[in-house]
Structure 1
Amino acid sequence: MHLATAPVSHAPAAALQPRPATAGSAARHWTSSQRVRLTAAWRQPRGGVATRAEADGSSPAATDDAAASAAPAVPQLSPAEAKQKLAELDKLLASEGPQVEAQAASLAATLHERGALRAFGAASQVPKRAYSLQELRLNKIQPEQFLAPKDTTLSSVRNIVQGSYLAGLTAAYFGQLLDLTQIVQVVILTAFLLTVDQVANAGGFEALLVDTAGRVVNRTYGRRVALHEAGHFLVAYLLGLLPRGYTLSSLDLFLRKRQLNVQAGCQFCDSAFQAEVASGKLTSSSLDTYSCVALAGVATEWLRFGHAEGGLADVMQLDRLLQALRFTQAKADAQVRWSVLNVVTLLRRHEATHDALADAMARGASVVECIELIEQRLAGSSDI
């Protein structure tokens, strides 16, 4: 997953378990004029939590009725019109330019308002409050396992590749294909090329090789990656953050764009989030969305495989953002625990849609095709 955020350090993540409060990273990257301030009022459309109207003492139902009577009904799009608008959205998402993301997000919001993208930003969420570890366990969530991804698959693949390389050299030597001097030359050349790769591509070629080998050696690996990224995609869409693109393998991106050192991930139309960070005013609703999308990948792997291997960078990025916001330990724990419960609830509720989305992404479906699949799967659902 790729969401822009403030520059951060590489401190270990431990947002669910007690850790000493740290402010060094925030002091390094947030000046007093840029420090993020959370808005006092936050809002969730569903899930039974307080809204601004409730904070003012008025009835939410009365407020909604008044708004409905004051505002004219928005005309719904016909199937032909919806198809045309989705084609426009597809072109926007494939375009480049500084205003494209904002235009695409605005069009998606309009399509939701006019009934074409009913599920976009329509997720029913759990009430926003501080949850204890015991409450998470009662919901069959083991938080101590959740935020500690360990990439055992690619580590094993890397060991296999290295072992195969050494075995090949040994076979060449004993088969008299190479003498000892030539073996030494090959080893020196390999070390030189790996060093150049680290300097020039930040290890991109090695990562591409290991990622590609992982799909051959371990058949589960490709499915795990597809489900992981589909988790980011689905949760983001249901919370109103428009996906812009995705890639499921380093080799795929290299063949399409000749880019190295870019692994699997989703990109989003997050220009509004970036603008909030740049202005130094990050709203609570934006932080809630960011937190949930960041944790969707590890949540997916934990739910489907019992543990997460990918997503450590996502967890660390969220942890560093909370540090940059100068959250106290208790406040950071509350934010992360709510996000964990919210994401796991969404993924459990929409497991079948999640599976279908992962299949579509594995086939290389476009973003709009993935969106249409989500809408078709959730059409008529009263519990999004």
Structure 2
Amino acid sequence: MNLSVGRLLNRRGTDGSIAVASTTRVVNNDDVVERRRAALRLVDRHLSKSNFKLALSLLKNLHRQSSPFRLRGFAAAKQVPRRVSSVEQLHLSVTETSDLQSLLDAILDSIESGLQSCVTGEVDDLYLEDDIVEHKQVVQHEAGHFLVGYLLGVLPKKYRFSSMEDENVDASVKFVGFEFLTELDDVVLSNNTLHEVKAGHAHQASKRQLSSTVLGKFACVIVGGLVAEHLAFGYSKGHLGDVEKLDRVLKWLQFTEEEANTLTRWAALNTLTILYRHSKARSVLAEAMLHGRSIGYCIDTIESNLNHQNI
């Protein structure tokens, strides 16, 4: 496929004046893809050197520009308005409404069971059965985090998986912009009350505030893993750590139970609709991550497989 691109040419006359002429050149789609990949390799280089701000700035520029190789998906996901709390309010087809409602109910049940485990201290057995299913499920889980973050404008800076041979599964995706999570390293959760490990900082930590936008993105990204598992397998087993982390953040910010439930329900619904629309991108991304591809490569994979009619 070829793309026709209009271009303005500036020509300086003998008198110093600048004449502007319009021309059209044909851009081969292979050239577009290669130029995007070259730009994403630069993103990879910045990430490898921990130049996270430069990497994020470059990604934003690649999204904003009007060139054919722009990143259309970054920070472009159509989101459910905060006031919407049910699938019925989305005015979808009868079939989609039924499918998404049953999925949402199952996702919310998983979150609730995770919260109960946090309270009782009972840890469910994560990924202890069939090794092949286990590893595929872990990859889908992390791909869910990655894809939701990218589409909401949160740059993944690195990810990792333990190998299939490892007895204990260890996997994660880290993002640029969620640095506030490091402040939770000094906080422990005991009897549903937050206590500061370092003396003298309890009041400061409990008053820490995040913008509504950042908190909303974090909530969606953190549930992205368990939502992806439900879409791929019909259930989730690897969500306990994510649910516990979301619960800690909301308690840290002194959310009431009603406020926490409202945000969590919206995040689950918003994330479900995003991942539901982009099932192909999620599946291909999981495959790329399974093979340890770079962040830039994974982003290119997303862009090449998005549902561009309804991002």
Q: 1:267 aligns with which of 161, 166, 174?
A: 174
2:67 maps to 1:103: no
Per the alignment, residue 192 of structure 2 pairs with none
Per the alignment, residue 40 of structure 2 pairs with 86
CA distance in structure 2 between the partners assigned to 1:329 and 1:288 by the alignment? 16
Relative to 1, partners in 2 of residues 1:83 and 1:134: Cα closer, same or farther, differing over 3 Å? closer
Per the alignment, residue 343 of structure 1 pairs with 271
Pairing 1:126-141 to 2, within 5 Å after superposition = 126-129=80-83, 131=85, 139-140=101-102, 141=104
Q: 1:146 aligns with which of 110, 124, 127?
A: 110
Per the alignment, residue 147 of structure 2 pairs with 234
Contact kept? 2:144, 2:275, Cα under 8 Å = yes
C-alpha RMSD of matched pairs (Å): 3.3
Deviation at 1:155, TM superposition (A): 4.3
SS of 2:310 mapped into structure 1 = coil
SS of 2:159 mapped into structure 1 = strand
Which deviations, in whole Å up to 9, do the C-alpha atoms of 1:276-301 show, x marking residues without a partner? 99893410000000000000011111
More strand by share: 2
Per the alignment, residue 53 of structure 1 pairs with none
CA distance in structure 2 between the partners assigned to 1:223 and 1:342 by the alignment? 24
Contact kept? 1:227, 1:300, Cα under 8 Å = yes
Aligned-pair identity (%): 37
Relative to 1, partners in 2 of residues 1:273 and 1:102: Cα closer, same or farther, differing over 3 Å? farther
2:135 maps to 1:222: yes
Per the alignment, residue 114 of structure 1 pairs with 65
Deviation at 1:338, TM superposition (A): 0.3
2:275 maps to 1:321: no
Contact kept? 1:120, 1:240, Cα under 8 Å = yes
CA distance in structure 2 between the partners assigned to 1:372 and 1:251 by the alignment? 26
2:216 maps to 1:288: yes
Which deviations, in whole Å up to 9, do the C-alpha atoms of 1:110-152 show, x marking residues without a partner? 1111142110000001111262699799622215522135754
Contact kept? 1:146, 1:302, Cα under 8 Å = no
SS of 2:174 mapped into structure 1 = strand
CA distance in structure 2 between the partners assigned to 1:135 and 1:320 by the alignment? 30
2:170 maps to a residue whose letter is Q
CA distance in structure 2 between the partners assigned to 1:154 and 1:122 by the alignment? 33
Relative to 1, partners in 2 of residues 1:225 and 1:314: Cα closer, same or farther, differing over 3 Å? same
Count residues with an aligned counterpart: 238
Relative to 1, partners in 2 of residues 1:300 and 1:104: Cα closer, same or farther, differing over 3 Å? same
Relative to 1, partners in 2 of residues 1:270 and 1:280: Cα closer, same or farther, differing over 3 Å? same
Deviation at 1:245, TM superposition (A): 1.3
Relative to 1, partners in 2 of residues 1:83 and 1:365: Cα closer, same or farther, differing over 3 Å? closer
Relative to 1, partners in 2 of residues 1:219 and 1:245: Cα closer, same or farther, differing over 3 Å? same
Q: 1:310 aligns with which of 213, 238, 242?
A: 238
2:58 maps to a residue whose letter is L
2:133 maps to a residue whose letter is T
SS of 1:382 mapped into structure 2 = helix
Pairing 1:22-33 to 2, within 5 Å after superposition = none
TM-score under structure 2 normalisation? 0.67
Contact kept? 2:178, 2:218, Cα under 8 Å = no
Per the alignment, residue 367 of structure 1 pairs with 295
Deviation at 1:306, TM superposition (A): 2.2
Gaps of 5+ in 1: 1-77, 157-216, 255-260
Relative to 1, partners in 2 of residues 1:327 and 1:368: Cα closer, same or farther, differing over 3 Å? same
SS of 1:270 mapped into structure 2 = coil
TM-score under structure 1 normalisation? 0.55
Gaps of 5+ in 2: 1-30, 91-96, 115-122, 185-204
2:309 maps to 1:382: yes
Of structures 1 and 2, the one with the larger relative CO (CA 8 A, separation 6+) is 1
Pairing 1:194-213 to 2, within 5 Å after superposition = none
Relative to 1, partners in 2 of residues 1:275 and 1:305: Cα closer, same or farther, differing over 3 Å? closer
CA distance in structure 2 between the partners assigned to 1:283 and 1:276 by the alignment? 16
